[in-house]
Chains A and B, each alone.
Chain A
Amino acid sequence: MSKQIDGISYSNMLKRAAINLRNHAGEINDLNVFPIPDGDTGDNMLLTLMGGVDALKTESPSLAEVSRNVANGMLFSARGNSGVILSQFFDGIAAGLSESEVADSHQLSKAFRMGVKHAYNAVMKPTEGTILTVARDATEFASTKKNEDAEEFLGSFIEEGKRSLDRTPDLLPMLKKAGVVDSGAAGLICIVEGMFSALDGDTNYDYTQLNALPSSGSASELDLDAFNEDSVLEFGYCTELLVRLQNAKTDIENFDITIITDFLQTLGDSIAAFKTGSIVKIHVHTKTPDKVLAFCQQYGEFLKLKIENMTLQHNNTLPEEEEKTERKAYGVVAVACGEGIQRTFREIGADIIVEGGQSMNPSSDDFLKAFDKINAETIFVFPNNSNVILAAKQAAQLYNKADVRIINSKTIGDGYAALTMTDGELTDPDEVEAVFNAGMENVVTAEVSKCVRDADMQDIQVHKGDYIGFVGKNILSAQPDRKSATLSMCDNMDLKSHDICILINGVDSSLEEADEIKSYIESKHGIEVYCVEGKQEIYSYILIAL
């Protein structure tokens, strides 16, 4: 029984939380209200949590110090609404532990209650039936237990947390209709379960698994010129393998992972390898990845390979020394994904594009980096998804070199409408903001995507493989084929009350088909349509009615 927690145990708790969350991130992603593949709560929470884990570089027995470092790391890496709320929860915990070198259940209870308070403060209009409710219910329940044991406190938290999680569909009809529990709340339980498991006294726990976890930082473009015709291989290759052990090649059940780790020791460093079922995940830095592949193939076949020249990675981490331009009155940061959509946003005046927003939400730190690249008095930020707004707001609060204003744009249509209505000559930030807001009036963004499961949505039965057309959470059409779903969606949109449409086709749809849809809308609804090759994932079409 662990009566008290100190900095060392808290740091182990965090690591175990990350490993546990990693193992369940996929399931949490799938707890998606909408039956399309844009669920990413598990990934968002994991990447947020990894910001805290990455901050555990120096070991300290001081709980106050470690919990503060963890919280700070998470505030920066926070992405997605659940991620931001999670980071605020840990920020509150750190605030509650600011004078505690160690904590028993009383201090923990005080800290968790502070965490709940911070989490609620993170959102303007708290929604019940989410991570907030579960954090509150579980903390209240655990706090009523009269004992001093920290482990028991977490045990009680999980006990009630699970019950509260099961109640989320009663509080949020959206969840009930979709037949799921709240994904962010499920992520929180998963994290606390991981933390709890670290108190089991297992001193031999294999923390090298952490090396195989994603870093909290967002991936950026590699500079291929960093390794030229005359470069010498200095850093080797960062090599990651996912191997499926084969019955024909080895006794899977009794396969000893040290066979691999011992071999890897002879070839490189930064070694991590672990086995889950028949899958072995391997991470090593080596100059001879060919030998690693040959060795591993004796036991199985590859599911996935990643081999990256670390000179490129290394070069990539050097600070960018960009020439600062003259300070502007205002600059624009827009969140966008899809090559064509990003180019369009650059053309209409976005200075910096932050990648993501649909299946990969940017972190607060991604925003902070973008703010640093713009030399402007006022920075306007255009989120493209309601799940991006909180991380942007958190970044704005952390930034003091410019007046950062988050525009309440929840779709790329909002951003497009707002940006195209400025005239580039206004300088007063209030006036500019007013023009942006006016531009977003009466804009509707509809999307078409493929269903990944059967679902009963608002009296419309959708089947796996169907295409659905929707505006926000409102399904307008469901058809077995993409084009019919799109046309039928348009027929249900009252396009006549708009001036023009922008039709953006994704990676899975062709320009020819987009052209047919354009002709249909123009002749049937008498409205001008302009096509953009957006090259976005997930959404076959995005239709903006302006």
Chain B
Amino acid sequence: MKDYIIFTDSACDMELSTLKKWNVKCLDLTLKFENEEKIWSNNEIEPKTFYQKMRDGGIAKTSAVNSEKFKQSFEEEIKKGNDILYLAFSSGLSTTCNSGAFACKALSEVYPDSKLITVDSLAASAGFGLLLYLAVQKKEEGATIEELEKYIKETVPHICHWFTVDDLVYLKRGGRVSPAAAFIGGMLGIKPVLHVDDEGHLVPVTKVRGRKASIKALADKYGELAIDKTTGPIFICQGDCKEDAQLLADIIKNDYGREIDITVYTGPVIGAHSGPGTLALFFLGKNK
């Protein structure tokens, strides 16, 4: 039986070393600051440097991975005799998933004996990373490519993303939230609590007074929705706000006795839209 390779893209916010350990291949979304020529791949620019540029007023635009790039990378593995499962960044937020699916379809015609499957994660950032983490575990347990596809699709509706941003202006600028939602952005001291819905879109759910209250609200969502509060994985992403991430981890430790499995930076590609000060909590929940 043929082996298969899990592909992903850099919107999953997992570190390169982690991906290497998981034996996952990653395609890079890219970004470019306005008034600059240089095109950065997600892993090329230090998060710290990136967020400083944003705080200094830099406006970054991101680009999806195009289907040619997918074709090249997929074909390389197919030629080695591997099948492909590409777990993609939410189609509700980027066209990367479509490009990947298009590449799979095109290559399937050229290599009818190979399996090329694209699965829409309907997730972003380390929520996407969490889904990838679970998929890697399943593969290590011996799941076939079909079994893994089925498992991922069953798991997608349970990937909870709960996050807050310091200023909605970034999401508004990138057109990632509705104008009505972005309206909250101008309110001094009022912080939105958002999540990613079943269609993979960013949706503000409530707003609270102050940063601390918003961080507490994320932990409260864990208490409300988490399926397994004893072992289920918990990830945190922070957009250059380490202390706030620590505060969130402390609340979860204090309220539920849980440690955070993985805490990472919100990578530049996601950060370009969510901005500095984004803090997100990911876990498996009853529903999104």
> Complex Cα distance A377/B99, Å?
47
A408 to B188, CA, bound (A): 22
A424 within 8 A of B: yes
| Cα–Cα distance between A500 and B209 once the two chains are bound (Å) | 6
Residue on B nearest A546 in the bound complex, by CB: B209
Q: Mark A504-540, 1 if CB is under 8 A from B, else 0.
A: 0000000000000000000000011010100000000
Instruction: From the candidates B207, B208, B210, name the one contacting A423 in the complex (CB within 8 A).
Output: B207
Query: Assuming A528-B210, A528-B212, is B188 touching A502 (CB within 8 A)?
Result: yes
Q: Cα distance A424–B207 when bound, in Å? A: 12
Cα(A528)–Cα(B209), bound, Å = 9
| A323 at interface, CB cutoff 8 A | no
B211 in the interface (beta carbon within 8 A): yes
User: By the criterion CB–CB under 8 Å, are A500 and B187 in contact?
Assistant: no
Instruction: Known contacts A349-B183, A421-B207, A425-B180; decide if A532 and B213 are in contact (CB<8 Å).
Output: no
What's the minimum C-beta distance from B161 to chain A, rounded to whole angstroms? 20
- Given A499-B209, A528-B211, do A420 and B183 touch, yes or no (CB 8 Å)? no
CA distance A420 to B208 in the complex (A): 9
Residues of A within 8 A of B184 (CB): 423
Identify which of A347, A423, A502 contacts B189 (C-beta below 8 A): A502
In the complex formed, the residue of A with least CB distance to B185 is A347
Q: In chain B, residues 203-236, which have Cβ atoms closer than 8 Å to a Cβ of chain A?
A: 204, 207-213
Residue of B207, B210, B211, B213 with most partner-chain A CB within 10 A: B210
Known: A499-B208, A499-B213, A500-B209. A532 touches B188 (CB 8 A): yes
How many residues of chain B are within 8 Å of chain A by beta carbon?
16
Whether a CB of chain A sits under 8 angstroms from the CB of B5 is no
Q: Measured between C-beta atoms, what is the minimum distance from B79 to chain A in Å? A: 52
B190 within 8 A of partner (CB): yes
Interface residues on A, range: 10 to 19
Interface residues of A in 460-508 (CB under 8 A from B): 499-502
Do B208 and A348 have beta carbons less than 8 Å apart?
A: no
Chain A CB within 10 Å, residue with most, of B183, B184, B208, B209:
B209
| Chain A 394-438 interface 0/1 with B at a Cβ cutoff of 8 Å (1 = within) | 000000000000000000000000001101110000000000000
Residue of A nearest to B211 (CB): A528
Q: Which residues of A contact B180 (CB under 8 A)?
A: 423-425
Complex: how many Å from CA A425 to CA B189?
Answer: 20
Residues in B neighbouring A375, C-beta threshold 8 A: none
Give complex CA distance A423, B188 in Å: 15
Complex CA distance for A425 and B204, rounded to whole angstroms = 12
- Residue in chain B with minimal CB distance to A344: B188
Contact of B183 among A344, A424, A527 (CB under 8 A): A424
Contact of A546 with B189 in the complex, beta carbons under 8 Å: yes
The interface residues of chain A lying within 8 Å CB-to-CB of B208 are 499
Is B174 engaged at the interface, CB distance under 8 Å to the other chain? Answer: no
Given contacts A423-B207, A528-B212, A546-B209, contact A500 B186 (CB under 8 A): no
Are B189 and A348 neighbours in the complex by a CB distance under 8 Å?
no
With the chains together, A284 CA to B150 CA distance in Å? 88
In the complex, A331 Cα to B207 Cα: how many Å?
A: 21
Which residues of chain A have C-beta atoms less than 8 A from B213's C-beta? 499-500
Taking a contact as CB atoms under 8 Å apart, the answer to whether B209 and A347 are in contact is no
**A349, A420, A527: residue with the most chain B Cβ atoms closer than 10 Å:** A420
Residue of B whose beta carbon sits closest to that of A346: B186
Q: Mark B32-62, 1 if CB is under 8 A from A, else 0.
A: 0000000000000000000000000000000
Shortest C-beta distance, B249 to chain A (Å), equals 20
Cross-chain contact B189 with A528 (CB below 8 angstroms): yes
Check if A500 sits within 8 Å of B183, measured CB to CB: no
A530: B residues at CB distance < 8 A:
188-189
Once bound together, how far apart are the Cα atoms of A532 and B186, in whole Å? Answer: 12
A424 to B210, CA, bound (A): 20
CB distance from B49 to the nearest CB of A (A): 28
B residues with CB within 8 A of A: 180, 183-184, 186-190, 204, 207-213
Q: List 11 A-B contacts (CB under 8 A).
A: A420-B207, A424-B183, A425-B180, A499-B213, A500-B209, A502-B189, A527-B210, A528-B189, A528-B211, A528-B212, A546-B209
